[in-house]
Amino acid sequence: MSAYHIISSEALDIVTIYNIFKDNKKLKLSADSEAKVLACKGYLDTKLADNKKPMYGINTGFGSLYNVKISNSDLSQLQENLVMSHACGTGERVPESVVKVMLLLKIQSLSYGHSGVQLATINRLIDFFNNDIFPFVYTQGSLGASGDLAPLAHLALPLLGKGEVVHKDKDYTAAAILKEFNWEPITLEAKEGLALLNGTQFMSAYGVYLLLLSHKTSYLADIIASISLDAFDGRLDPFHDLVHQVRPHPGQRKVARRFNEFLKGSEIITRAKQHVQDPYSFRCIPQVHGATKDTLDFVEKVILTEINSVTDNPNIFHEEDLIISGGNFHGQPLALALDYLKIAMAEIGNISERRVFQLVSGLRGLPAFLVDNPGLNSGFMIPQYTAASIVSANKQLASPASIDSIVSSNGQEDHVSMGANAATQAYTLIRNVERVIAIELMNASQALEFRRPLKTAPFLESFLAQYRNVVPFVKADRVLHYDIEASIQFLKDVDIEIEELFLNHYDLK
């Protein structure tokens, strides 16, 4: 297996990115990418020398200052000033795992040779990536339209020896880390600051990270819901393939087939039932979980298009002898997709909480609140409250960020996407969903013990055996906060084969 991923014109996909991070691969520019970068930079240098006309962001001010011409002798200072003045992020620090994706995506976008940057600038970003040097980036400050200006300014600051970074869990000033590695600060040239700051790499990095997290969470939700179905003495009829052949949404069919696989060999699911139907939170799992999976498929397509694109401005087309000021930095495609992702993943939490409610309600031979001697013991009464609180918070987070816009830059930037807010909201929301399905796992595993000596399916028994090493059966009241936290950590630690995570190839023939 190669220790390197070669940055080239070959499109990145989610599995490739996953493997880069899983295998801790380092990056290299391909010879073809180097040639494109050098050709574009050479063209821009010639254009500046021969052309006295104003070219936005190259020899002019920025935003509403687009008509202020800057002399050639000040172009380097112009770009450095741009980076410093735009580093206005605040709020919490972006997780290092997301910052590392930002570095990868910024490198990829600049490598196409339409941005006019120095080769040395891209190589220094590669140095940061390869040595796990992560600039401090903050969650608040981007409108998601003129690029992710504030977050990307913080990503770029250490190139200049400014700002802060984290390396091997230790914080450094950028000046100190450059000295540690014997690197000189980069002196930015014409357009470079704008190329570094314009772009959607904050939103799209969150998108990549959240897509991976959502696929895993969605898959685990299927496993946990299948345990709940058996623990609730539910019926398998709604998962029959004929039902889904006549309404063949791909995600729906995938979930139905998956449940039949998960529950194969269960002694509970096949026994005679006293009831002819289950509540919707059980009966409609294929339709609800499946719709989320189809949404993930759509979101993945949007994100893949974005991460394999040039999103700074202006765009340089040296072979056509054109420098065109456009709007590829506008984050509307990502904003809408991330809002859709929020809604879809919130529904996984919503329906999970309803199953928790059903399991503690004292139905179908289960004790009230899933504990012996209820009354003296409150059992699993309050975890359902916790789940209800979380899903209510998620309903607020799922409100679309993209329907908002605020005028900025003195009216020049008069419509913005707010996709960065959608991204950070989605991060919080999906982490919340992890907590809700962890509570469902607590309840479902507890309920299943009251069906003994009957066993569920071998696959689920194996999954539960691992879980029971972390969270034992609750015989009497104890501090359940620790069990909830242990359940959340268990789901984070579960190793799922990547082939199980990606559902864009449904194989439903």
Which pLDDT belongs to residue 406? 85
Mean pLDDT estimate for the chain: 93
Query: How do residues 305-317 score in pLDDT, each as one tens digit?
Result: 999 999 999 999 9
Query: How do residues 314-372 score in pLDDT, each as one tens digit?
Result: 999 999 999 999 999 999 999 999 999 999 999 999 999 999 999 999 999 999 999 99
- Phi then psi for 500, rounded to 5 degrees? -75, -20
CA 210/CA 17 separation, integer angstroms: 13
Query: Mean of the pLDDT values across residues 184-196?
Result: 94
CA 324/CA 86 separation, integer angstroms: 23
Residue 503 has pLDDT above 60, yes or no: no
pLDDT category, 405, cuts 50, 70, 90? confident
Which pLDDT belongs to residue 163? 97
Domain spans of the chain?
A: 4-199, 206-319+326-405+415-501
Which pLDDT belongs to residue 500? 64
Tell me the residue type at 507: D
CA 181/CA 196 separation, integer angstroms: 22
Which pLDDT belongs to residue 460? 97
Give Cβ neighbours of residue 461 (< 8 Å, ≥ 6 apart): 455
Residue 149 has pLDDT above 90, yes or no: yes
Cβ proximity of 124 and 159 under 8 Å: yes
User: Of 21-30, 215-224, 408-417, which gets the smallest average pLDDT?
Assistant: 408-417
Query: Mean of the pLDDT values across residues 237-246?
Result: 98
Question: Active site residue: 4, 43, 56, 138, which one?
Answer: 56
Which pLDDT belongs to residue 57? 65
Question: Checking phi first, is residue 310 left (phi over 0); if not, alpha (psi -120 to 50) or beta?
Answer: beta
DSSP 59-87: SB-SGGGTT-B--GGGHHHHHHHHHHHH-
Question: Checking phi first, is residue 24 left (phi over 0); if not, alpha (psi -120 to 50) or beta?
Answer: left
CATH architecture under which domain 4-199 falls? Orthogonal Bundle (1.10)
56 is an active site residue? yes
The yes/no answer on whether domain 206-319+326-405+415-501 falls in CATH 1.10.760.10 is no
Query: How do residues 261-298 score in pLDDT, each as one tens digit?
Result: 999 999 999 999 999 999 999 999 999 999 999 999 99
Residue 151 pairs with which residues in a beta bridge?
A: none
Closest among 404, 368, 372, 327 to 476, alpha carbons compared = 372
pTM for the full predicted model: 0.94
* 408: three-class secondary structure by DSSP: strand
